[in-house]
């Protein structure tokens, strides 16, 4: 199976980045839902089902992870049960590397200090009100400290509220309030909550920020799944594989340099 055989685009805003007999890597635009939602707009799930049913003998695509509707970037789709299981285990044990690019509306604490280009965010998360997530602590309990050239943002264990789940985001400041992020855990809205609670909500994030704020205003959410690294797995992947997606043209721009 080749990219030409499956086509150039599933639905508007979703393209293939990699195609073989067991795995697809898809690249979706912001505003495309992975699963059907209340708007009735075309979803990736429905498009994959229609692709399978359009011709006898086609494999059943299996979506193995999700990204938010408003986030653009890479998704993995298995074409058989073995690959689905292999990738599911890899996600569960956190052996798949995930990198995002985020455009914040402000700088993270510590960015103004010399050498503080890297951040380690370990704020635990728990469900909040109206379907939102929140940090499992009070804002005033979040502490910031420099450690070996890395700016650490954390909540002391004694001040952590019950029900929190560990969440680790590692960030490198690229300048102009843009960050390259390594996501070590995959909690719901993890990046968006971490940045919002540190006073730097992502551009275009009306759920966790203030859409009326001029610094945050954007036509779309400033979050993009830029790269995925799949490890070598004896029963599923014969070699490590890295897939990347360039920033789309509609990605929000950063603040002018000071």
* Positions marked active-site: 68
CA distances from 64 to 61, 82, 86, 240, 248 (A): 9, 12, 10, 18, 23
Instruction: Determine the straight-line distance between the first and last CA of the chain, rounded to whole angstroms.
Output: 50
Task: Give counts: helices (H), strands (E), the chain.
Answer: 4, 14
Largest CA distance in the chain: 61
Opening angle at CA 195, ends 194 and 196, nearest 5: 95
Residues 252, 208, 119, 184, CA torsion sign: negative
- Cross-strand partners of 202: 104
- In 13-121, at which residue ranges do the beta strands (DSSP E only) sit? 14-19, 23-28, 62-63, 72-78, 97-103, 118-121
Residue holding tokens 């402000």? 106
Q: Is 39 helix (H, G, I), strand (E, B) or coil?
A: coil
DSSP 165: B
* Strand 72-78 with 223-230, pairing: parallel
CA–CA separation, 199 vs 222, rounded Å? Answer: 15
DSSP 108: P
């Amino acid at each position: 199976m080749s990219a030409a055989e499956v086509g150039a685009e599933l639905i508007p805003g979703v393209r293939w980045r990699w195609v073989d007999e067991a795995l697809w890597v898809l690249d979706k635009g912001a505003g495309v839902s992975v699963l059907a939602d209340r708007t009735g707009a075309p979803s990736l799930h429905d498009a994959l089902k229609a692709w399978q049913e359009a011709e006898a003998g086609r494999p059943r695509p299996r979506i193995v992870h999700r990204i938010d509707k408003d986030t653009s970037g890479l998704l993995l789709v298995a074409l058989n049960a073995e690959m689905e299981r292999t990738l599911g285990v890899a996600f569960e044990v956190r052996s798949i590397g995930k990198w995002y690019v985020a455009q914040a509306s402000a700088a993270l604490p510590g960015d103004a200090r010399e050498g503080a280009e890297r951040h380690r965010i370990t704020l635990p998360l728990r469900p909040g009100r109206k379907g939102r997530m929140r940090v499992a602590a009070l804002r005033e309990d979040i502490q910031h400290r420099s450690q070996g050239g890395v700016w650490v943002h954390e909540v002391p264990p004694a001040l952590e509220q019950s029900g929190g789940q560990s969440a680790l985001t590692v960030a490198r400041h690229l300048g102009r309030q843009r960050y390259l992020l390594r996501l070590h855990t995959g909690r719901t809205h993890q990046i968006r909550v971490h940045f919002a609670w540190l006073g730097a909500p992502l551009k275009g994030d009306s759920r966790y920020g203030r859409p009326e704020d001029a610094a945050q205003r954007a036509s779309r959410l400033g979050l993009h799944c830029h790269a995925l690294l799949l490890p070598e797995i004896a029963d599923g992947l014969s070699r490590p594989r890295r897939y990347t997606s360039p920033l789309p043209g509609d990605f929000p721009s950063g603040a002018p340099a000071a």
